Chain A
Amino acid sequence: MPGAVSRSLRSPRVLVALGLILCIACCAAFAPLIAPHDPADQNLLSILLPPAWASGGDPAFPLGTDSLGRCVLSRLIYGARTAMTVAVFASLGAMLIGSFLALISGYFGGAIDWIIGRAVDVWMSFPPVILSLILMFGLGTGLDKVVLAIILVDWTRFCRVLRSEVMIVTRRDYVAAARLLGFTHRQTLIREVLPATVPLLITLVSLEMAIAVVVEAILSFVGLGVRSDQAAWGQMIADARQYVYQSPSNLLLPILAIFVAVAAFNLLGDGLRRTLDVRLAEIGR
């Protein structure tokens, strides 16, 4: 395992991705220190200002203001906070539920496997977008609800991929040896099977983070994501979409932010997949 870590850290993809993610994470963590304004502060006398370097720009608002006179830079920085929170908690939550079910499903097989397998089938016959919209309708808006909705939609992603991996690992000799040594099922699962799936899990989590960022942006964009007093990239896009001609930069900046975050997580996932030698034939979208 330490060998795999140092191998990963020498991969240019992983390094570039980690650098980008670190930048976004810093923005998210130190948002109150970096942001020049409160992201919810409205300044109705200076709405839709262009960036400071353009003519008519105000140095107090480096990237301009939106339709309510809120500072775009501050909202971008606080939006990073929303996006990163959702990315981390949603992907970890989906991983916990999905991998727990995959472990018992792939390890024990039989009736448990059949039930979990059918549940995944039915779950996946709902298009993810539709399912998350319906869930958000039921749960109401808010950051925690967005996280919960993504967990409830995406646990199947982990369950399906991990289950087949667990089935392969379970048939290995060292797992049989552990059983012969008198390990209980729980000990075997936690000490022998689970560690063998860690590279796959890490890769899946980083890819899931990219998905979570997009889903959060989508839900905020249609107005069913975080509460309206919280800054989110999707909300900024929805607001800017109405005033594209007056202020195109307001549309471009949050798109760029989402793109950089998504590309970074995907690059990380791709780099990890290569260096950790994970077989990931088909993971779906």
Chain B
Amino acid sequence: MSDQLRYQLRVNGKDRDVSAPAHKTLLDVLRDELHLTGTKECCAEGECGACTVHVEGDAVCACLVLAAEMPGHEITTIEGLAADGRLDPLQAAFVQCGAVQCGFCIPGMIMSARALLNGTPRPTREEVQDALSGNLCRCGGYSRIVDAVIKAGTAS
């Protein structure tokens, strides 16, 4: 198609060639072109946080940015968090604390929490609540998720 753009994205430490129309969001490209389906789509308007990824270490809703604006930026998705099959301490804490139920919100939740912990390794409960206020979960009461983030912070 004529509006197809070709560019390179750096995702999880690797350069990936992309060919996609200009209007595709980072979320579209991650899921449909690069088959990184760990990043989830729910509201597609930046409210639910299910599509949270890191751009240069900051938590960003992948549904709100155009993929074509992302070349030159370091992008990390949930697939890039566990190194060599070893879970990130935050991922392990989510499992241990029983923070995972249906799991659909969890990749976004973990990416938001990881961004928090990178800047604030020992957050207070209020800081965790604030950092995760843009990530919706419908299964749980959030308390186990907050517990997991605090636990991972303490462990690091």
A and B: real partners? no
Residues of A participating in the B interface, judged by any CB pair closer than 8 Å: none
Residues of B participating in the A interface, judged by any CB pair closer than 8 Å: none
